Chains A and B, each alone.
Chain A
Amino acid sequence: MPQLSADPRLNDPLPLIREKARAIRIAALKMVFAAQLGHPGGDMSVADILATLYFGVLRYDPKQPGAAWRDRFVMSKGHCTGAFYATLAEAGFFDRALLETYMGPLSRLNGHPNRNYLPGVETNTGPLGHGMPVAVGMAIAGRMDKADYRVFVVTGDGEQQEGSNWEAGMAAGHRKLSNLTLIIDRNGLQQGARVDDTNTLEPLADKWRAFGWAVEQVDGHDVAQLYDILAAPVGTREKPLCVIARTTKGRGISFMEDEVKWHHGIPNRAQYEQALKELQA
């Protein structure tokens, strides 16, 4: 039978979620600095979302990553592997020591996740706009089997510019896939500029409502809010759920916050040490 994977401390899950979010940020920073590669801005913006999912919401057993009953998670913003791999390691899918190989020669930790290299990765992502269609397929499979697992997918906000999200969103709304939850990491920045200066998403909530989705808007760094929305049972909701999580790119590292250059900027040693000190404070 499905069991809560995380630990019994989950009577009040928030302290554990906060602790794991900090661990994820620190691990991701170390990985990016060691590799001199990566996407630290988005790693920091998504860390609280991932911590809430893996240490408060998702049902899984890292020793049975293919268990039929597991909740599915799709990291559609596949470039944020610093945070994603750190999360999987914290959740016990593989040893934390493996994180030290991030993007090294022949490492299992490619710049974008590969399900054939690592347990816990459901589908290979990297090119944007791929996670949603796959997540919709997972949700349809769950429906066919009358299974009670849920499917969660995280996209970036710039990623919402990819048309495939809207193809998938239309299908999920049409099919009333209440077992599907989309979380948009709404940090407001894409690779080259502000999202809303590039190709605006607004009114984003109205768009998803128009596609037949329920929409919630939360502070994506307030794990209590995230937990309340994401852990709530589907109940009588007969629509898929879109959670627009307002976040700050580079969150937790003062000089990175809301600065577009840290999309894939790499800190020098002095910056790294300052960032580490801030995350550990």
Chain B
Amino acid sequence: MSLATETAGLFDCRDSFAHAIEALAEGDPRIVVVVNDSLGSSKLTGFNKRWPERTVNVGIAEQNMVGVGAGLANGGKIPFVSAAACFLTARAMEQIKADIAYSNVNVKLVGQSSGIAYGELGPTHHSIEDMAWLRLLPNLTVIVPSDPWETEAAVRAAAEIEGPVFLRISRHPVPALTRPSDARFTPGEAERLREGDDVAIISNGTMVARALAAAELLAARGVSARVVNMSTLAPLDHDAILDAARTGAVVTVEEGSVRGGLGGAVAEVLATSHPCPMRILGFPAFLPTGSVDFLLEHFGLTAAGIANAAEELLTRKAA
């Protein structure tokens, strides 16, 4: 169903975003986009060609970009404000807080090429802090889709939500996950992609496919690992986390900082409601130079790295 560009079985989810928003725009004239000279990197050149009058390019000015989004919503539009996640969230954080979340307006923020997608360009262009920064803002729904199908579904869901949403879109290629034919994306509901009783791996975004691959490796070692896709980071699915804790060990994996993001969110729930041994996998610092694949490998965010962390954690599990 997705028109995402496929390369050797892998997909760039920005294409799924573009496909979904064009489909929405065909049926709803309120859909408009706001960009900061980021039409190409947001895959919105097609949208701009079809609806130039509904495309607002404010130039390289993120504070204005986010405020303009709030103003367009005031005029009854459904603006999707789309820019590289690093600049959208860090540069315009106060606008996101005051104009979008606190004002509680119907604006969709789309952080493109999130996480470490810009690899060698370094920490200025990485967006490993965004989940921590944004998930604590009241009113703001934060969605981190895992693959092309979920990206399209999340864009549609965002348009339906009457209120502010942050979509964290990746560009690092991911496989299309296997799901039952009747699978539905519901904001705020975690998705259990694999059953397991020994340990639970909770992840989102680009890390979900790797978590599933890790579960395969663990199965070969006789460890039964549950895989939970926590694609909605806010509001958080507490029940799914408490269920996961009943396995007795929880590993979180995210393409983001180990502080305050998905791992932090899960830890808050476990520490206050159901303490259990836990590992938080992600990035511990500003990253050194390297390609995306190198950095993921270097920091253990591979199937093998996740599986090893889970296995180590089992040794700490209560008897």
CB distance from A126 to the nearest CB of B (A): 7
Q: Kindly state the separation between the CA atoms of A125 and B203 in the bound complex, as whole angstroms.
A: 36
Which residue from B32, B64, B69 sits with its C-beta under 8 Å from A144? B32
Q: Which residues of A lie under 8 Å from residue B59 when comparing CB positions?
A: 170-171, 174
Inter-subunit contact A167/B61 (CB<8 Å): yes
Q: Kindly state the separation between the CA atoms of A158 and B50 in the bound complex, as whole angstroms.
A: 42
B94 adjacent to chain A (CB < 8 Å):
yes
B63 adjacent to chain A (CB < 8 Å):
yes
Inter-subunit contact A124/B61 (CB<8 Å): no
The residue in chain A whose Cβ has the minimal distance to the Cβ of B74 is A138
Q: Which of B14-22, B95-103, B287-295 contacts A (4 or more CB under 8 A)?
A: B95-103
Q: Which residues of B lie under 8 Å from residue A150 when comparing CB positions?
A: none
Inter-subunit contact B102/A137 (CB<8 Å): no
Q: Kindly state the separation between the CA atoms of A122 and B70 in the bound complex, as whole angstroms.
A: 10
Which residue from A138, A141, A142, A167 sits with its C-beta under 8 Å from B63? A167
The A153-208 residues at the B interface (CB cut-off 8 A) are 163-164, 167-168, 170-171, 174
Q: Which residues of A lie under 8 Å from residue B104 when comparing CB positions?
A: 115-116
Known: A68-B76, A126-B98, A130-B99. A171 touches B64 (CB 8 A): yes
How many A-B residue contacts, CB cutoff 8 Å?
Answer: 109
Inter-subunit contact A134/B102 (CB<8 Å): no
Which residue from B77, B79, B95 sits with its C-beta under 8 Å from A133? B95
Inter-subunit contact A141/B67 (CB<8 Å): no
Which residue from B53, B54, B67 sits with its C-beta under 8 Å from A136? B67
Instruction: Provide the main secondary structure of the chain A interface.
Output: helix
Inter-subunit contact B74/A123 (CB<8 Å): yes
Q: Kindly state the separation between the CA atoms of A174 and B57 in the bound complex, as whole angstroms.
A: 11
Q: Which residues of B lie under 8 Å from residue A138 when comparing CB positions?
A: 71-72, 74-75
Known: A163-B63, A168-B64. A134 touches B99 (CB 8 A): yes
Q: Kindly state the separation between the CA atoms of A133 and B63 in the bound complex, as whole angstroms.
A: 7
Q: Kindly state the separation between the CA atoms of A125 and B102 in the bound complex, as whole angstroms.
A: 10
Which residue from B61, B69, B94 sits with its C-beta under 8 Å from A137? B69
Inter-subunit contact A132/B67 (CB<8 Å): yes
CB distance from B164 to the nearest CB of A (A): 12
**What string of 1s and 0s marks CB contacts (under 8 Å) between A113-125 and chain B?**
0111000001111
B155 adjacent to chain A (CB < 8 Å):
no
Q: Which residues of B lie under 8 Å from residue A125 when comparing CB positions?
A: 98
The residue in chain A whose Cβ has the minimal distance to the Cβ of B57 is A171
A34 adjacent to chain B (CB < 8 Å):
no
The residue in chain B whose Cβ has the minimal distance to the Cβ of A163 is B63
Which residue from A122, A133, A140, A142 sits with its C-beta under 8 Å from B66? A133
B296 adjacent to chain A (CB < 8 Å):
no
B32, B70, B76 pick with most chain A CB within 10 angstroms? B70
CB distance from A167 to the nearest CB of B (A): 4
The residue in chain A whose Cβ has the minimal distance to the Cβ of B67 is A133
Q: Which residues of A lie under 8 Å from residue B102 when comparing CB positions?
A: 114, 124
B58 adjacent to chain A (CB < 8 Å):
yes
Inter-subunit contact A168/B67 (CB<8 Å): yes
Inter-subunit contact B67/A137 (CB<8 Å): yes
Q: Which residues of A lie under 8 Å from residue B67 when comparing CB positions?
A: 130, 132-134, 136-137, 164, 168
Inter-subunit contact B76/A134 (CB<8 Å): no
Known: A124-B98, A171-B61. A144 touches B71 (CB 8 A): no
- The count of chain B contact residues (Cβ–Cβ below 8 Å) is 32
Q: Which residues of A lie under 8 Å from residue B53 when comparing CB positions?
A: 144
Inter-subunit contact B70/A144 (CB<8 Å): no
Q: Which residues of A lie under 8 Å from residue B70 when comparing CB positions?
A: 123, 133-134, 137
Inter-subunit contact A141/B72 (CB<8 Å): yes
Inter-subunit contact B75/A137 (CB<8 Å): yes
CB distance from B61 to the nearest CB of A (A): 4
The B30-72 residues at the A interface (CB cut-off 8 A) are 32, 34, 53-54, 56, 58-59, 61, 63-72
Q: Kindly state the separation between the CA atoms of A38 and B291 in the bound complex, as whole angstroms.
A: 53
CB distance from B291 to the nearest CB of A (A): 34
A135 adjacent to chain B (CB < 8 Å):
yes
A220 adjacent to chain B (CB < 8 Å):
no
CB distance from A71 to the nearest CB of B (A): 12
Q: Kindly state the separation between the CA atoms of A150 and B63 in the bound complex, as whole angstroms.
A: 22
A72 adjacent to chain B (CB < 8 Å):
yes
A129 adjacent to chain B (CB < 8 Å):
yes
Q: Which residues of A lie under 8 Å from residue B65 when comparing CB positions?
A: 133
Inter-subunit contact B63/A137 (CB<8 Å): no
The B154-187 residues at the A interface (CB cut-off 8 A) are none
Q: Which residues of B lie under 8 Å from residue A137 when comparing CB positions?
A: 34, 67-75, 79
CB distance from A75 to the nearest CB of B (A): 13
Inter-subunit contact A140/B76 (CB<8 Å): no
CB distance from B107 to the nearest CB of A (A): 9
With contacts A137-B70, A145-B76 known, what are 9 further pairs, Cβ within 8 A?
A123-B71, A124-B103, A130-B94, A134-B68, A134-B74, A167-B58, A167-B63, A170-B59, A171-B61
Give B residues with C-beta under 8 Å from A. 32, 34, 53-54, 56, 58-59, 61, 63-77, 79, 94-95, 98-99, 102-105
A–B pairs, 19, beta carbons within 8 Å: A116-B103, A124-B102, A124-B103, A130-B67, A133-B66, A133-B70, A134-B70, A134-B71, A136-B67, A136-B71, A137-B70, A138-B72, A141-B77, A142-B75, A144-B32, A145-B76, A164-B64, A167-B61, A170-B59
Please list the 3 inter-chain residue pairs (A to B) with the smallest Cβ-Cβ separation, ordered nearest first: A137-B71, A133-B67, A141-B75
